Structures are given as structure tokens and as C-alpha cells.
Amino acid sequence: IRDLSQFENEQFDIVVCYGAPLSYILEDREKVILEFARVLSKNGSLFVSVNNKWGILKMLLGNKHPGFFSNPEYWYIDQVIRTGDLPKHEKVDQPARHFFEAEELNNLLIKNRFDKIVLGGSPCFSCGNLQAVEELAKDEKAFNTILQIEIETYKKATMVDNGEFLLAKGIKNYF
């Protein structure tokens, strides 16, 4: 996603960047977003997902990860809270990455030629409660209730930072 030079200007009506690859771009995020804008047609739609800072922490709390919260220096919890950045870690089989907040992602898109932005959290209501959801899923009515609450909450401004992933849709604008 750092180099879209193989594509012409305004070649696509939609760009989809899911799976949180933007979270692994620690430098030049604005250039990446501008490249998305460059390859999008007038009024084209951008769909992105990123790792969500508060939702990830909420998920880890729900998973009751042994030793995680009792060893914040080792796990860089303070750094993640302060900057959103998690350096490469010996116990994590992933490269360094950035955890976004909703306001940060929204501002990144606005600053780089997108408007009409819609944010969402996924999973939002149920994040950090996988075992409870799996247990309740045995009861179809209970599971449908959870799904309904998820649908009602995932785009609420007060809830989007609760999801493990932060989702965004933006429309390319011309200033």
C-alpha cells in the first residue's frame, strides 16, 4: 500500500484496505492515504480497517491474559496508551504497529482529501467477551440479541473506540 504507482490516477471507484495493514505503516501514513485518494475516481469510496487502541486493550482484559496488566512496562502498555505505537515485541509474532483512536483516524482521512466519513467498531459491544458470546451463541435468541446490540452500537460515536478494529468509510473530495 506504500506504492500504488502501478495504478493510474482515478482508476478505481472503491479502494478497500481491510485487515489493518495501515496499522503497520508507522511512517508515511499520510502518503499512503494520499495514494488511495490519487487512485480513486471523483467521489470514490475508501474503506479501511485499523487496530483500535482501546478495543485491543478491552479485548486483552476480557481474555484475562496472564501477566499482561501486571507487567505494563514489559508489554509497553504506557507507550501504547500515550502514542498508540507498539514496538516489535519478543512475545508477539507481528511487526511493530500503531493502534488508532477514532478521532485520530477521522482526522487523518479529513486531512488527506476525504470527507463524509463514517466510523465503526468491530466487534464493538462484544469486544473482549468472546467466551461469553460463544456460550450465549448456543441459545439462538440470546445470540440474535447480541447481534442486534452489535448492529445498534458499532457506528455510535460513543462506542466506536470499543471495537478491536476501527472501521472507516470516506469519500474522496476535491478541495
Residue 63: per-residue pLDDT: 84
Inter-residue contact 79 to 86 (CB < 8 Å): yes
Which residues, listed in sequence order, are joined to residue 169 by a DSSP beta bridge?
47, 118
Q: State mean pLDDT over 87-101.
A: 92
pLDDT value of position 22: 97
pTM of this structure: 0.92
DSSP H helical ranges for 66-172: 77-83, 102-111, 130-136, 140-153
What pLDDT sits at residue 105?
A: 98
d(CA 93, CA 163): 21
The residues facing 165 across adjacent strands are 51, 122
Mean pLDDT of 135-155: 97
The one-letter amino acid code at 8 reads E
